[in-house]
Structure 1
Amino acid sequence: MQVKTFTGATSQEVLARVKAEMGPDAVILGNRTYRKNGVVCHEITAGLERPGPGATPAAGGGETPPSGWSEWHKEWMQIKDQLYALMKPAIQLERLTPRQRVALEYLQREGVADSVAVGLYNRLLADPGASVLECLAGMVPVRPWGAADWPQRLHLLTGPFGAGKTTTALRFALQLRAHDAALHVAFINADCLRGNGRLVLRHWAELSGFAYLEAPDRESMARALTQTSGADAVFIDVPGMTAAETLAEWRGAMGLDAVAADEAASHLVMAPFCDAIQTKEFLGRYHAEGPASLVWAKLDEAVSFGTIVNVGAGAKLPVSALSYGAELKESLSPATEPLIWRLVFKRQIPGQASPPARKEKAAPAAGRAPGRLAGRTA
């Protein structure tokens, strides 16, 4: 392991040097603050594992983590949270415009993480004329569901049990069929052990004229892919993963790792009311190589939507769709920036009026944004 100590006048400056010189994989091994000649100094010791020639490849193609990696990572996450907590009082809200300040305070009340709030604050200071929406658009990517933006033939619907993968797959297919009635759509159900979801998918596929196949193992998946080779779009309902499994391992076991990267896309279906620890675990468990997106489901069951900002800023996965309600029709909207910011700032579900404001009013996001965001409101 390469170990190096950095010192500076502020913790922000030292962290920036660590990231610049050692990269995002650096692990913080220790930190301290001391005085030297009457001046406060901040010191951080960071380590970076350099794989040696004898390193053993991991199952996913990477290197085996070094001994004690999990403990180092846990300590680093704790130190990072403490550093952000220390940085929060240093945010000088008076340097922002009144609208920017109100929007930032509102986002923090809605559950936006400290790290995201600090990042947004720095963006606003770097470009005083920018609106909050313009800065947020650079942090939360959007790629709306549809054939134009998602031309892949295979679409894997992933996510935890009960997240709404099956209904999302049906809603995706119905959206495509609404724009092209001649489209040949097929479903491959790999989540065959759950009777209710299996019956729903089969029932609605037959009613809509979609092909339906089941593939609980590698051999049946190979046959299903062959039988659906002529379909314009194939949706695969992926089973939920346990804590000991990952999507990459499941794809390898099912033979789907041989599918060309540009032919398949993965869509992770999640609800915005999961806590930060669970959300982070799901993002790691369902991480997909190649084209991928987030679908935020069960929006009508949530009371705040700060998680959407946290995940977008941290995972860098584009939001493709917003899903809500129990019906299959008129219950999914391809994601757009205006829809997302109305949801975050006004708690307005797509197609519905804004709900009555709670005790703390929803914030006016940022006024008019220049360029492509001009005229958008929260």
Structure 2
Amino acid sequence: MKVKRYLASTSKEALRQVKEELGDDAVILSNRKTKNGVEIMALADAEMSGLVDIPTALPHGAQMVKSEKQQPAAPVYSKVPAVTQELIEPPKATPEISVSLMHDIIAEIHAMKTTLEDQLATVAWGNYTQRKPEKMKILRTLLDVGFSPQLSRRLVDKLTPDFDYEQSLKQAMAALTSNLHTGASDEMVEKGGIYALIGPTGVGKTTTTAKLAARCVIRHGADKVALLTTDSYRIGGHEQLKIYGQLLGIPVRNIKDTDDLQLTLYELRNKHMVLIDTIGMSQRDHMVAEQSAMLSNCGADIKRMLILSAASNGKTLDEVISAYQNDGIFGCIITKIDEAASLGVALDAVIRRKLMLHYVTNGQKVPEDIHAANARYLLHRIFKSSPGESAFTLQDAEFALIMAGKQDEESVRSNEKSFAGFHHD
């Protein structure tokens, strides 16, 4: 039995191919949409007749290909002489057995196809590593320090082919430095303005608010700084910021709604810096939209500063950024770099999503444990210490298997969008 596979941009075109090659009586076993269009698995009528002699045994969804003017196909067993027809007619239970058999055959064909594609991809990857061993070493280094496969592949593809490992590493670091956008040193404190610190729960928004307020108090004085909080849900949330405010000599106001925020900001219009500590909530919470609406409708130019935890994994960071980026993000601050196994995961998200990084924090001390972001220093810190063996370290065979896998259509689109402006020195 020879099952043939047809790919076309439309179902009509795929059916035309089936008719041309297998005839009008061809049996369609399956059809599905793929990233390239429509895929049809078909079988010639003669092949189907050899497998089972009754048309009712076709798999669920299978059908005979017929032209518009052609009469309905006569049952297959009508072609058999009358003398032998009674002998070959199966019992009533046979159609169910045949349908099951056909489904098993199709499933086995798909399994063989997947296995063959995986094996070919692994062989191709092995040949690539033999031809370009230095690039593979760089790729492993990038993955080991926390960068995503998507960013690592894109970066390695742009490296100069003839460079050795050290030269390639320097070129990779230069490219990463160019694409990690950081604000000017203490830009927020120098320029002032109204800033709302947003982000999920537990990332350190309240402590970071206090650290920024302390830096501004040192530079401009306590009378030039104001602290606001919308955190009236979390037990002790307002009190925690109030304690920081008392230590810094700054009053802390609690905001209830949009009108309250608008009135308060008008009263504080002469302040150099106003910091708003927002409610911590999951990026999947519907209240994220409500909070965004409150910040947008108060009539003031509030800059949103997204707080990202370096201790989060890459998928979580991507989800958080997606939840908040639609409403506009002025910049971001990476917290808890002292708790993260590698800073590469957080920097990877910042680079891919093209965010402006202003500060990083590495502890609870106010205001000591906050530092203006420096791209060259942060990347040098990542590559300076080589990670040790852990449960998440890939062995050679595992590394080849993962990297040989194909990217799906969504990943390709995301890759092209994320790196439309990617460049290196």
TM-score by length of 2: 0.56
Which amino acid letter does the alignment assign opposite residue 159 of structure 2? L
Q: Do the aligned partners of residues 298 and 182 (structure 1) sit closer, same or farther apart at CA in structure 2, a change above 3 Å counting? A: closer
Q: Do the aligned partners of residues 246 and 320 (structure 1) sit closer, same or farther apart at CA in structure 2, a change above 3 Å counting? A: farther
Structure 2: tracts of 5 or more residues without a match: 1-7, 10-32, 40-116, 391-423
Q: Do the aligned partners of residues 29 and 318 (structure 1) sit closer, same or farther apart at CA in structure 2, a change above 3 Å counting? A: farther
Residue 286 of structure 1 is matched in structure 2 by: 324
Residue 30 of structure 1 is aligned with which of 16, 32, 35? Answer: 35
Instruction: Name the CA distance, whole Å, in 1 between partners of 2:387 and 2:319.
Output: 32
Instruction: Name the CA distance, whole Å, in 2 between partners of 1:259 and 1:95.
Output: 60
Q: Do the aligned partners of residues 196 and 126 (structure 1) sit closer, same or farther apart at CA in structure 2, a change above 3 Å counting? A: farther
Q: Percent identity?
A: 20
| Residue 237 (str. 1) matches residue 280 (str. 2) | no
Instruction: Name the CA distance, whole Å, in 2 between partners of 1:161 and 1:288.
Output: 19
| Residue 318 (str. 1) matches residue 364 (str. 2) | no
Instruction: Name the CA distance, whole Å, in 1 between partners of 2:162 and 2:264.
Output: 53
Pairing 1:91-102 to 2, within 5 Å after superposition = 92=128, 102=137
Residue 20 of structure 1 is matched in structure 2 by: none
Which amino acid letter does the alignment assign opposite residue 309 of structure 1? L
Cα contact 1:91–1:121 (8 A) shared by 2: no
| Structure 1, 280-289 or 227-236: larger mean CA deviation | 280-289
Deviations along 1:96-130, whole A, 9 cap, x unmatched?
Answer: 795x7644322212332111011111222389676
Aligned residues: CA RMSD: 3.7
| Residue 227 (str. 1) matches residue 232 (str. 2) | no
Shift of 1:208: 0.8
| Residue 89 (str. 1) matches residue 125 (str. 2) | yes
Q: Do the aligned partners of residues 357 and 244 (structure 1) sit closer, same or farther apart at CA in structure 2, a change above 3 Å counting? A: closer
Which amino acid letter does the alignment assign opposite residue 369 of structure 2? S
Cα contact 1:159–1:268 (8 A) shared by 2: yes
Residue 329 of structure 1 is matched in structure 2 by: 367
Q: Do the aligned partners of residues 258 and 214 (structure 1) sit closer, same or farther apart at CA in structure 2, a change above 3 Å counting? A: closer
Instruction: Name the CA distance, whole Å, in 1 between partners of 2:244 and 2:366.
Output: 9
- The number of equivalent residue pairs is 277
Residue 165 of structure 1 is aligned with which of 197, 205, 210? Answer: 205
Shift of 1:226: 1.9
Residue 153 of structure 2 is aligned with which of 93, 114, 118? Answer: 118
Q: Do the aligned partners of residues 216 and 341 (structure 1) sit closer, same or farther apart at CA in structure 2, a change above 3 Å counting? A: same
Cα contact 1:247–1:288 (8 A) shared by 2: no
Cα contact 2:228–2:277 (8 A) shared by 1: yes
Structure 1: tracts of 5 or more residues without a match: 6-27, 35-81, 348-355, 361-372
Instruction: Provide the secondary structure at the position in 2 that maps to 1:194.
Output: coil
Q: Do the aligned partners of residues 217 and 133 (structure 1) sit closer, same or farther apart at CA in structure 2, a change above 3 Å counting? A: same
Shift of 1:249: 3.9
Residue 186 of structure 2 is matched in structure 1 by: 146
Residue 251 of structure 1 is matched in structure 2 by: 292
Residue 241 of structure 2 is matched in structure 1 by: 201
Cα contact 1:176–1:183 (8 A) shared by 2: no
Q: Do the aligned partners of residues 328 and 255 (structure 1) sit closer, same or farther apart at CA in structure 2, a change above 3 Å counting? A: closer
| Structure 1, 176-185 or 188-197: larger mean CA deviation | 176-185
| Structure 1, 329-338 or 265-274: larger mean CA deviation | 265-274
Which amino acid letter does the alignment assign opposite residue 125 of structure 2? P
Which amino acid letter does the alignment assign opposite residue 89 of structure 1? W
Instruction: Name the CA distance, whole Å, in 1 between partners of 2:277 and 2:155.
Output: 36
Residue 358 of structure 1 is aligned with which of 367, 382, 388? Answer: 388
Instruction: Provide the secondary structure at the position in 2 that maps to 1:160.
Output: coil
Instruction: Name the CA distance, whole Å, in 1 between partners of 2:259 and 2:286.
Output: 20
Shift of 1:92: 4.6
Instruction: Name the CA distance, whole Å, in 2 between partners of 1:272 and 1:91.
Output: 36
Instruction: Name the CA distance, whole Å, in 1 between partners of 2:137 and 2:374.
Output: 23
Richer in helix (by share): 2
Instruction: Name the CA distance, whole Å, in 2 between partners of 1:162 and 1:273.
Output: 11
Residue 174 of structure 2 is aligned with which of 122, 125, 134? Answer: 134
Deviations along 1:297-345, whole A, 9 cap, x unmatched?
Answer: 1111111223123202321102111111122231111100133113422
Cα contact 2:310–2:337 (8 A) shared by 1: yes
Instruction: Name the CA distance, whole Å, in 1 between partners of 2:162 and 2:220.
Output: 43
Q: Do the aligned partners of residues 93 and 316 (structure 1) sit closer, same or farther apart at CA in structure 2, a change above 3 Å counting? A: farther
Instruction: Name the CA distance, whole Å, in 2 between partners of 1:108 and 1:235.
Output: 37
Cα contact 1:297–1:322 (8 A) shared by 2: yes
Instruction: Provide the secondary structure at the position in 1 that maps to 2:159.
Output: helix
Instruction: Name the CA distance, whole Å, in 2 between partners of 1:257 and 1:310.
Output: 33
Which amino acid letter does the alignment assign opposite residue 141 of structure 2? Y
Instruction: Name the CA distance, whole Å, in 1 between partners of 2:377 and 2:240.
Output: 29
TM-score by length of 1: 0.62
Deviations along 1:243-266, whole A, 9 cap, x unmatched?
Answer: 2326454232x2534546xx4321
Instruction: Name the CA distance, whole Å, in 1 between partners of 2:230 and 2:303.
Output: 16
Instruction: Name the CA distance, whole Å, in 2 between partners of 1:152 and 1:180.
Output: 10
Q: Do the aligned partners of residues 222 and 142 (structure 1) sit closer, same or farther apart at CA in structure 2, a change above 3 Å counting? A: same
Q: Do the aligned partners of residues 108 and 228 (structure 1) sit closer, same or farther apart at CA in structure 2, a change above 3 Å counting? A: same
Instruction: Provide the secondary structure at the position in 2 that maps to 1:282.
Output: helix
Cα contact 1:248–1:288 (8 A) shared by 2: no
Pairing 1:61-72 to 2, within 5 Å after superposition = none
